[in-house]
A and B are shown apart, each in its own frame.
Chain A
Amino acid sequence: MNKYILIAMFLFLFASCEDVIQVEVKSQEQRLYSIEAKITTESEPWVFVTKTLGVTIDQPYAGISNLIVTLSDDVQPSNSIVLVEDANRKGYYTVPQNEDFYGVAGRTYTLTLLTPEGMTITSTETLNPVEPIDSIQIKPSERGDKLFLAIFTFGKETPGPGNYYKWDIYINDTLLHIDNAEYLAYASDELVDGNYISGLEILTDFHDPNKESERVLRYLDTVYVQQTSTSEFAYNYYLQMTNQASVGGLFSVPPANIPGNFTSSDGKEVVGLFTAHDISTSNTVVIDSTIEVLLTKIK
């Protein structure tokens, strides 16, 4: 269900009723390990390790060095690789040069991190196969009276419930950085199982119609989409990310912490997410004048 498009719509609608205020909070330096890790069928795995910061701290998250990071699959005998820290990016661990390691659909991956303090952190994810995407289209969204462009996906949904999707949107070959949950596009097949998906709106470019500069999808941009599979855990994690981002809004739920899929040997909480994705890449669409002309312009 596209509850999340509705949330985006309301975030947009009530934007004019929002302002930033000062509140007193007791910021806490919990310094918990925070890990983001990803393996796909088309790109090499990476792991980024940082620690949580107090909420009032104005600093980037510093990477944590000197972890031993191992990734292995569940075939017999197991394929395994030790990821090494990137010389130019502290806390960022990737496949060493001269080696290859790609995800394979159907396999389960285990990530193990040994911290300098001697704590072992583990996480397991299954890389599910994804249904190929037929195509994407870019056209004005019905939401907001055709003032905004939207990306629509087309393709068959795999019969049988329990499929979860996430879409990565590339604009001019750059992944749309989802620092805002309204760009986080994911779905479960719960209400569409086995159907042909004829135009699922995965991104609506809501912006102030008087400010062209706020557009995400601009004239002459080239756009393609990677349709990826995710696990049920990751799907629920994305859902909770959306819920956190809509806290305070009209559809909001009480703020809640998001449990990650890492466990540690000493029982200390580790936050973050490890995901595994199969990928199907769409056609590329150029936002040319034939698309642009369909937009309603504010006079």
Chain B
Amino acid sequence: MFNSDAIKDIQVYKGGIPAQYGGKASSVIDIRMKDGNNKDYHFSGGIGNISSRLTLEGPIIKDKASFILSGRRTYADIVGKLAGIKELKGNKLYFYDLNGKVNFQVSQKDKLFASVYSGDDVFALGESIYMRWGNLTGTVRWTHVFGDRLFSNTSFIYSKYDYNLGVPGGGADQFDWSSQIRDLNIKEDMTYLINPDNKLSFGLNATVHHFEPGKIDVSESSYYHDLELTHYNAMDNDFYISNEQNIGSALTLQYGFRVSMFQQIGEGQVREYLNPEKPVIKDTIGVKNYKSGQFIGNPFINIEPRVAIKYSLGANSSIKASYNRMVQNIHLITNTNSPTPLDIWLPTSKYIKPLIVDQVALGYFRNFMDDAIETSVETYYKNMNNVIDYKDGAELFLNESLETELLRGTGYSYGLEFLLKKQQGKLTGWASYTLAKTMRQIPGINNGKAYPSSYDRTHDFSIIVSYEINKYWTASANWLFSTGNATSYPVSKYNVMGQTLYIYAARNSYRIPDYHRMDVSVTYDYKKNENRKYKQSINLSLYNVYARRNAYSVSFRQNEDNPNISEAVRLSIIGSVVPSITYNFSF
């Protein structure tokens, strides 16, 4: 969910991830915002029934400084009503975000940027409950060129993610539960052009993480207590060095490594257990308090080698191979698959080890028809260590001894990806297909046997095409297909207090129905004002054209009329066609 009006380019690294990037175990998406036009003012935007957006850009000092300001708001409450959720009437469900950036060419050799991003999701049901979650990021970046071969890029980044959930008003059950993560990050990236065949990149990255996993605030009339879970703090210091080397005209090598040092620090409390390798509530010895800045345990130091080779087979084709180790020190602790803000993020700490992923990838890339068509085939294998999952029936909600609910194991994943892309001509678009498998093996879950991860998708296919019918009309369509999520279905049942309870088959041994969906749209462009500054178009689109009730989940429940029967119930969030209309303009 990014505002495309404000984005300059997006780089997706799946294999061969440069040493410059760290902290994440999977692919890296690097999004760069537009700088803003430094010659003229431009206004662009779209007004629609589902969402509206507006972007303004222009010079502050002509040719020297410019700005861009962009905002969006969606009205999902309206989408919900169209989907037939009449209870959404009078309630709130929306998303908005704002992007702003200024850049200033200080001198021939110095450039300064400052940018801010702020986004919020809001969901409220009258006086019943509310949820909101938001992101805030502020960045100041300075680029400097030393001589003509050394480039420096210095960034200061502040970011905050927070959410609230609660019951509003001044009643007896009022509460506000909040949680937040704040990061302060200083980054120095240098590039040195040793010679035309060698480009050296190196840098440092220092981050201070602050986590507040849960806090309850109540008013005087509420019967709840205030409560605050212990904070987590950590220092994350990384450095990297990497060289990109051309050998002859056909071979390019990229090799280097990244060192990550992650240290949990105070202020905070740490529970101590008889056996720290297997923390159990019964074996709690006590709670140790740490002062602000005090080291908690030893640092986790990891070396992450990165190697990538590209070999050109003539002008149109190439082979790429890579090996990466990636270390992730921020862990998502959630046992729901739902898009609610109830996710808990925690850093690597005394009881949570860094997630270590080794990945190898091999790909063949080939262009046809003077690069009009790009194709590729890639395969990968990933091995994961210190994968976290939860004990059966784990309670993660406001749990002060969360570590006692966690289990640690391994995982692996492999896949084959095909891509076909056409970017020129009247017909453009792309198609991709991935065949993959992602498994977990964690002692204490599924009798220690490997089971499919909830992220496992055997088949994943998507096709997006756009066709320019004539000067005025463009039609586009996309179709997505993916294997249904892995889930557990019951095999037998019994009864307690009139409620049917289930005994489940092996974890994730079943699949919910496959997901597929088609969307179509047409755009009418008012080309008659082609030479004018003011440009406008109208877009009509239909989401989920054939109104498929794609399952979000399938669960078993006893039949209301006959309690002896258990039936499978499908939950689908948007099971109907959603039409939308947007008027786009720019001047």
Contacts and interface: CB of A to CB of B under 8 A. Distances in A.
Contact of A36 (B496, B507, B508, B551): B496
B392 A256 contact: yes
A20 B398 contact: no
Interface string B546-576: 0001011111111000111111111111010
Contacts of A2: 167, 173
Interface stretch (B191-199, B222-230, B271-279): B222-230
B223 A196 contact: yes
B158 interface: no
A17 B571 contact: yes
Contacts of A56: 566
B490 interface: yes
B532 interface: no
B86 A16 contact: yes
Contacts of A195: 223, 225
A228 to B, nearest CB: 13
Contact of B494 (A25, A196, A197, A271): A271
B82 interface: no
Which has the most chain B C-beta neighbours within 10 Å: A17, A36, A145, A241? A17
Contact of B575 (A17, A200, A236, A255): A17
A243 B570 contact: no
A191 interface: yes
A53 B507 contact: no
Contacts of A249: 338, 553, 555, 571
Contact of B336 (A142, A193, A252): A252
Which has the most chain A C-beta neighbours within 10 Å: B128, B490, B493, B496? B496
B418 interface: no
A191 B492 contact: no
A19 B569 contact: yes
A51 B394 CA distance: 27
A197 B173 CA distance: 10
Contact of A13 (B85, B338, B340): B85
Contacts of A178: 497-499
B151 interface: no
A35 B189 CA distance: 66
Contacts of B510: 23, 25
Interface size class of B (residues with CB under 8 A): 35 or more
Contact of B558 (A179, A193, A251): A179
Interface in B65-119: 83-87, 90
A291 to B, nearest CB: 18
B338 A21 contact: no
A22 interface: yes
B495 A61 contact: yes
A254 interface: yes
A258 B390 CA distance: 15
Which has the most chain B C-beta neighbours within 10 Å: A9, A16, A191? A191
Contacts of A257: 392, 502-504
Contacts of B313: none
Contact of B397 (A1, A53, A272): A1
A16 B84 contact: yes
A16 B85 contact: yes
B99 to A, nearest CB: 29
A179 B563 contact: yes
Given A21-B513, A201-B173, A28 B504 contact: no
A239 interface: yes
Contacts of A27: 491-492
A181 interface: yes
B338 A252 contact: yes
Contact of A20 (B129, B169, B562, B567): B567
Interface residues of A, number: 81
Nearest to A146: B127
Q: Give chain A's interface secondary structure class.
A: loop
A199 B169 CA distance: 15
B225 A200 contact: no
A198 interface: yes
Nearest to A143: B128
Contacts of B221: 198
A245 interface: yes
B77 to A, nearest CB: 13
A14 B494 contact: no
B393 A256 contact: yes
B449 to A, nearest CB: 15
B216 interface: yes
B501 A13 contact: no
B126 interface: yes
A196 to B, nearest CB: 7
B171 interface: yes
A180 B79 CA distance: 30
Interface in B505-553: 505, 507-508, 510, 513, 549, 551-553
B335 interface: yes
Given A251-B338, A253-B393, 10 more contacts: A17-B572, A17-B573, A34-B495, A143-B128, A191-B225, A195-B225, A241-B497, A248-B553, A255-B555, A258-B501
Interface of B: 83-87, 90, 125-129, 167, 169, 171-173, 175, 216, 221, 223-225, 227, 335-340, 342, 390, 392-395, 397-398, 454, 487-505, 507-508, 510, 513, 549, 551-558, 562-573, 575
25 contacts: A17-B575, A21-B568, A22-B568, A52-B503, A55-B566, A61-B495, A143-B128, A145-B90, A145-B126, A184-B499, A191-B225, A196-B223, A199-B173, A200-B223, A240-B393, A241-B496, A247-B556, A248-B569, A248-B571, A249-B555, A251-B338, A255-B487, A255-B555, A257-B503, A272-B494
Interface of A: 1-3, 5-6, 9, 12-14, 16-23, 25-30, 32, 34, 36, 50-61, 142-145, 152, 177-181, 184, 191-193, 195-201, 236, 239-241, 243-245, 247-258, 271-273
